[in-house]
Amino acid sequence: MLTCVIRYHIDPTKIEQFEQYARNWGQAIPRCGADLVGYYAPQEGSSTLAYGIYNIPSLAEYEAYRTRLANDPLGKENYEFAQKEKFLLREDRTFLKLASAPHGAQK
């Protein structure tokens, strides 16, 4: 299992647009086959960083998922919304694997 963490640099004057974008992905991502952990918008501290986090079984499954997402009606609409509103200044994806059990669970 891989966890994809997307770090977004967003326009701090357009947090509401990012939140709408996040709600849309909240519907489309699970429908297209990834296990969405959630989208996170700024609250305190930096007003320009936001995150999206989901799990996917493998990089091969990620490629298939991205194709489904690009063809999903809400996915297409959301990509277009981001292009039109220009609230995303940058996004970086990192794929992580679990390196320890939560809370230091013992064998």
pTM greater than 0.85 (yes/no): yes
In this predicted model, what pLDDT tens digit does every residue of 65-86 receive, in sequence order?
999 999 999 999 999 999 999 9
Which residue's structure tokens are 């996004």?
A: 91
Domains and CATH numbers, the chain: 2-97 (3.30.70.100)
Q: Residue 80 gets which letter from DSSP?
A: H
pLDDT tens digits along 49-66: 999 999 999 999 999 999
